[in-house]
Amino acid sequence: MRSDAVKKGISKAPARSLLRADGLDDSDFDKPFIGIANSWNDIVPGHIHLNALAEAVREGIIEAGGRPFVFGVPAVCDGIAMGHKGMRYSLISRDVISDCCEVMVEGHALDGWVGISNCDKVTPGMLMAMGRMNVPGLIVTGGAMEPGKDGDKNMDLQSVFEAVGAYSAGLISESAVKKVECSACPEMGSCSGLFTANTMACMTEALGMSVTGCATCLADDVRKLSIARESGRRIVEMVKKNIKPRDIVSRESFLNAIMVDMAIGGSTNTALHLPAISKDFGCPVTLDDFDRISRETPHITSLRPGGPYSIKDMDAAGGLPAVLNILKDKLSDVPTCTGKSISQIASENEVLDSSVLRPLDNPFHKEGGIAVLKGNLAPEGSVVKQSAVNPQMMVFSGKAKVFDSENDASDAIMSGKIVSGDVVVIRYEGPKGAPGMPEMLSPTSLIVGRGLGDSVALITDGRFSGASRGGAIGHVSPEAYAGGPIAAVRDGDTIEIDIPARKLNVKLSDQEIKDRLSRIKPVEREVTGVQKKYRMLVSGGADGAYLG
């Protein structure tokens, strides 16, 4: 076992002495050492219950004959970080989390580990570490909260942001905003729509890196503790059989996950996370894979932000296993951490509500959730959640109103300076330029809340929350800070968006773009510490904002 490096032989007496201070005795030194990376904190509502899951994982490890060790990793709540300096740390935290897991697992020669995760950057960060270290491991995602309710209508964090937009337009009162604020997020768990946290939980299960049913089981569901306990037992078995992440996850696994992503209409952030994770697993996927699979995969459910349903509804309809059942004839048969293949799991489960999870011949949309647009404004690509775009916005042309920061754009929207027919351009918010590629739920929600969701588009070299909807196109690459064409756009330029044709262009000649770029001095923001390191190392959005 790997842990023999700290527990076997006379020369390891000092290490054993320290481990005895942890409460170990002679019998423990013959057991697999299993780490539990626990992202619990009492800031993030998706993480406040994770200690209970960690304890259940511990119990499972002990039952199976292992010796558990718990360590902590950070987690950022994107909703709380949104709209201020803190959001520049969110995507950065993905790589910090990955490094923390690597440091603890490798530093203590652990034989295997379980990542207990939930929110947006924690799950992909842990998956990146799994692929990079290739030490036996699996993930327990913490589950979604119950949706808030407004009568029979589901609410979530998106509802609050859009209420602020409606208030700014004089459509609702301050007391109405307060009512939404107090009702939208009723309890522990990740936000209840198919935003980034829950999308990545689904991607983890689709990749075969969490046990069956984990992705959509709600945080307050007693089944979640059983899943955690089962995961603890399973990791010990994986260690004993030397089953490693790269034995489970292959390029075919990633292509399966992208297909699931397109079918359920997941967050555009998967176009950052899956490419980055795939690099650490040694089998890269690209935006071209996303677009190809999206064209071939119908969108079979309609969860918020694009539709009415919540994760709770998806779970009641059969969860991720039911989605696999619908896609079973299109999926590659690959292994999973459960010991069963993905095809076995698909065949053993069924759809329990075909109004929520529709068959392939009766989808909500003929194509998948994400489209990749290219053109003279995004030569390397950009992404849009097409399943959440109003049909009349699928082809759109408008005049640019350009902002060099998210806050300036939000102020303009709030004050009524953005009107029907505009294309809001937000730049210098990319991986290097921000730095950290902040999410922009505020401006997209303000646009929708002010009743402009079907007449105003937004493009950015930053990214969007999984809760964003409407004509919001992100990850425009190359970014402005790196000299991308988006830096050349001026107020009044005509921008043409054609999602079915996968085009994003500004009506300028190549020479005019080149001439403008030659005269531009990039916006510089002072950076220190982790932001400074990140800016030096990070690649572009089209490459997954990967630290190569």
Task: State the catalytic residues.
Answer: 465
- Measure Cα distances from 289 to 64, 213, 224, 301, 334 in Å: 40, 26, 33, 21, 18
User: How far is residue 219's CA from residue 386's CA, in Å, rounded to a whole number?
Assistant: 29
Distance, CA of 335 to CA of 332 (rounded, Å): 10
538 Cβ contact list (under 8 Å, min separation 6): 431, 432, 435, 545, 546, 547
Q: Which DSSP helix (H) or strand (E) runs through 18?
A: helix 13-21
Q: Are 74 and 100 in contact (CB under 8 A)?
A: yes
Task: Name the strand (E) or helix (H) holding 103.
Answer: helix 90-107
The C-alpha R_g of the chain, in whole angstroms, comes to: 23
| Euclidean distance between CA atoms 548 and 546, whole angstroms | 6
Q: Report the SS3 class of residue 149.
A: strand
Distance, in Å, from the CA atom of 507 to the CA atom of 512, rounded to the nearest integer, reads: 10
Query: 331-369: string of b/e by CB count within 10 Å (b at 16+)?
Result: beebbbbbebbbebbbeebebeeeebbbeeeebbbebbb
Token output for 320: 């991720």
The three-class DSSP label of residue 64 is coil
CA 371 to chain centre: 16
* Tokens (6 digits) for 528: 């220190």
Residue 149 φ/ψ, nearest 5 degrees = -130, 135
Give, in degrees to the nearest 5, the angle at Cα 106 between 100 and 110.
110
Structure tokens belonging to residue 288? 């071209």
**Interatomic CA distance for residues 323 and 326, integer angstroms:** 5
